[in-house]
Amino acid sequence: MRFRFLKEHRDDFRPLEKACKVLRISKSGFYEYVGRRKSNQQIEREVLEGFVSDIFEKHKARYGSRRIKHELAAQGIHVSDKRVRKVMHKLGVVAKGTTRRYRRQKRIEPGAARTNLIEQVFNVNERNKLWVGDITYITTQRGFLYLAAIIDAFSRKVVGWSMSVHMRENLVIDALEQAVGRENPQPGFIFHDDQGTQYTSRAFQKALAIHGITQSVSRPGNPYDNAVAESFFKTLKTELTKGRNYTDHEEARQEIFKYIELYYNTKRLHSSLGYMSPCDYECESSQKNLTYCPV
């Protein structure tokens, strides 16, 4: 350990003989250490550190040890996530994220009126059978920018989204129309939301009816009822907007567009999908069923 320290800081300690005396090591031993060839294990460790560092930087600190492990496996490098964690610890890098959990905001009284058709069961075996939607806000120097997103529970893909400086019903209608235009779903599937005024408005109800969509709603004050949408917004804020200070709405729009369309849907590995991206998961499922593979 002391040999390595002196080797890394050799230029900071002169003369060498005095440095060896302070560190209580022999000068001849140090020269032997410097001339020693690296072992295969040391070379392997350094190569792995390089790969981990590259993947970490490529995904802008969004990937932890498990996702990095799967990314390495895709490149033919098979190591455990425990080993990846050790490498990340040595490199001093920590992925964006938090272990904070949601808390129930309001106790639901027995028998409270609700129309919740899914009861926190988001597992579906086909695309365009269950969509979930919600709204969040993005902070900029010019005020809030509101984002409405619609996620397919099957693949966790964001199938539709819209942004506006106002939280009117047009915000969620635009996201719905985009999703329908992209996916062309068959009538009769379920759209689940959190009973926000935008989703209960007559205009949005009319849009659902036009496309033959059945609405399901969360119970008041229970974020678990819309966990898929809540999870997406948590990921978006953790990996993209947290700590950012957007100068205006346009800058925020461009960054969110790139995150959703060029990264989240097409590249980001999801643990719930067996560490595949939403688009890759849909393609693999479509190939198994001999159906159309979305691009």
Could you read off the pLDDT of 249-286 as tens digits, one per residue? 999 999 999 999 999 999 999 998 999 999 999 999 88
Q: What CA–CA distance (Å, rounded) separates 133 from 294?
A: 21
The rounded distance, in Å, linking the Cα atoms of 187 and 158 is 19
* Exposed/middle/buried for residue 84 (C-beta within 10 Å: 0-12, 13-18, 19+): buried
Predicted pLDDT of residue 4: 65
Domain 130-288: which CATH number of 3.30.420.10, 3.20.20.80, 3.30.70.1560, 2.10.10.90: 3.30.420.10
Q: Helix (H, G, I), strand (E, B), or coil: what is residue 276?
A: strand
Give me the pLDDT at residue 292, please: 53
pLDDT tens-digit profile of 112-135?
444 889 988 898 999 999 999 999
Q: What is the pLDDT of residue 93?
A: 82
**E strand or H helix that includes residue 138:** strand 130-140
Contact (CB, 8 A) for 279 and 271: no
> What is the value of pTM for the model shown?
0.71
HSE-CB for 221 with a 13 A CA cutoff:
8
Tokens of 219: 């119970």
The ranges assigned to domains in the chain are: 2-35, 40-91, 130-288
Residues with Cβ within 8 Å of 16's Cβ and at least 6 positions away in sequence, in order, are 10, 27, 30
Q: Both tokens of residue 269? A: 């590995």
Say which amino acid occupies 205: Q
